[in-house]
Amino acid sequence: MTEATVMDIEGRRIDLGADGHLLDAACWSEGVAEAMAESDGIELRPLHWWLIRFVRDHHERYGMPPLMRVAIRAMRDETGQHDASSRTLYRLFPDGPIREACRYAGLPRPESCI
């Protein structure tokens, strides 16, 4: 994305920044995440939702998104996905798992992401 956009979701105007992240985190809902993913051609399945919720929870607890290795370990422990790896996460969100999960989770772009 190169410029800010507006989406009409759930009867509300949702403003997105040039990077596709919500400008107002208070606008987030699962419906907003679904609509954003749909406009990107992604169907959010259970593992997508697990990562989105994990990122939201981690951000709430620590004020920042998790490192990739933290998310992989948690996926193994919490989902029973014993072969979880960075490949597993990239299959969910090929453009950057943590960054994209943050975007769909209504969180700002992680500082560590390019």
Position 44 pLDDT exceeds 70? yes
Phi/psi at 41 (5° precision): 80, 25
Would the pLDDT of 7 be above 70?
Answer: yes
Confidence of residue 61 (pLDDT cuts 50, 70, 90): very high
Integer Rg of the chain from CA? 14
pTM over 0.85: yes
Say how far apart CA 23 and CA 78 lie, in whole Å: 31
Catalytic residue list contains 102: no
> What is the CATH T-level fold of the domain 5-104, as seen in this structure?
Arc Repressor Mutant, subunit A (1.10.10)
Catalytic-labelled residue, pool 62, 76, 113, 114: 113
Q: What does the pLDDT read at residue 90? A: 97
**Mind listing the pLDDT tens digit for each residue in 66-88?**
999 999 999 999 998 989 999 99
